[in-house]
A and B are shown apart, each in its own frame.
Chain A
């Protein structure tokens, strides 16, 4: 009689695959892509527009899956990410890799066939940039990871624009610049009050490498550069005063919160209310700003 014990593994739930796509991040990606699409001159059939946004969302999901596949061990060391499907043992790594590659191939292929190959090309490059350049190369090696890596999250409005027009002009480049310059203050605010977590995982975020004072200086400095990029569409006559005045007011709020961070000298996360406020406001800020930009362009059209 064979008494050998055989082992059986539980299959991952569909919710685990969904969690692998980082749905929270996807919301902002989809929204900025939609704004790029709506701000573009010309028209696009609603079905094709929906397909373009869906492909961008799926590509963002692919990035999330590939990121979690590569960082499974690091995620296990951080409180914020330890409950993700891979570090929590609910899924194995090859499944996450296959899922990510599958989503990436699907999104680029459908974008090319159904929308246009310029949008598909930028989409493919953005996946490569996030998964390889940012996740595998920049993030573990340099405290400037967020600065350069921010480009990965700045592509969606450019792709949305390219889906409609088939080209890339100054406004989508400015939309790219806004997200690119918004990313460092946004993430460094988070990195300040999650410093211990990043330190435990061995990720060289700016507060861990250059110190909290240097990070606060950089946050304040980048906020001003970002403000210039935010107001540039108005100054260049690409939007009306609707966007101009609203962007001015929203950005004044951002600068005020960045100033509070700059003034703060707290080293303990519990005393970092300004940092937490800036992080929360920065998300709302980007939603409102891009919503306004799209609205302004639609009214003008």
Chain B
């Protein structure tokens, strides 16, 4: 996913906004981690099938 900066413009961050931004970044990072982990497993399984280890 891209590191886009959405159009919701806010001024200087107060504490609540800073927390909100951090929470969004963490949520995206966690989701990206899960997707990448899933892809690693999938590519490994495809490779194993293609080379014929499990027929």
Contact = CB atoms under 8 A, between A and B. Distances in A.
B49 to A, nearest CB: 5
- Size bracket of the A interface: 20 to 34
Given A51-B42, A51-B46, A90 B8 contact: yes
B13 interface: yes
Nearest to B28: A14
A15 B13 CA distance: 23
B50 A11 contact: no
Given A48-B46, A98-B2, A14 B27 contact: yes
B20 A10 contact: yes
A4 to B, nearest CB: 11
Interface residues of B, number: 29
Interface string A222-260: 000000000000000000000000000000000000000
Contacts, number: 84
Nearest to B11: A5
A6 B24 CA distance: 20
Contact of B49 (A8, A48, A54, A94): A48
Given A13-B24, A13-B27, A14-B28, A114 B5 contact: no
A5 B11 CA distance: 7
A181 to B, nearest CB: 35
A17 B2 CA distance: 10
A11 B28 contact: yes
Contacts of A8: 9-13, 17, 21
A10 B46 contact: no
Contact of A90 (B3, B6, B46, B50): B6
Interface of B: 1-13, 17, 20-21, 24-25, 27-28, 31-32, 42, 45-46, 48-50, 55
The 4 lowest CB-CB distance pairs between A and B, nearest first, are A95-B4, A9-B5, A14-B31, A47-B45
